[in-house]
Amino acid sequence: MAESNVPEVGKRAPAFNLPAYPEGKIRLSQYKDEKNVLLYFYPKDNTPGCTTESCDFRDRVATFKRNDTVILGISPDSVASHEKFATQFELPFILLSDENHAIAEKYGVWIEKMNYGKKYMGIQRATFLIDKNGKIAAAWPKVKVNGHADEVTEALKELN
């Protein structure tokens, strides 16, 4: 649960096999040797920051496709919640459901947070660019939403 287990650039990305909308189940390994993966962790569907971040990636989806990259969003929300969120904001990519936060823990982004003086566990907004070999090519462990999609797009250009 410590931030220290955020995977380092150059290391193999932790594997996952999760329920997803609209695909059913998604494994990281299904993209090996074929696609880069932009994996972004976000705290909750339909909240202001998460909506802005998701829509920023949505608006750049053509750039990601041109660069052989799939976008995968991941949060602890259910597949049903993801369906509503993706439909409402016309998100043309896959949203993964990590309800027990096991994958967030593997990526070091399930952390203790504080809101109005109350401590709780939750997702730290983070993004990982995973290359076709399944290795972390770039990582943003503490994302600020504004300008983030531009940073990721620049890193993607360097990858290809």
Active site residue ranges: 50
Beta strands in 2-160 (DSSP E): 17-21, 24-27, 36-41, 69-75, 94-97, 110-115, 118-123, 126-130, 136-140
Cα 104 from Cα 100, distance rounded (Å): 9
DSSP state letter for 92 = -
Q: Collapse the DSSP code of 30 into the 3-class scheme (helix H, G, I; strand E, B; otherwise coil) and give the result.
A: helix
Cα dihedral value 42, 87, 46, 4, nearest 10: -10
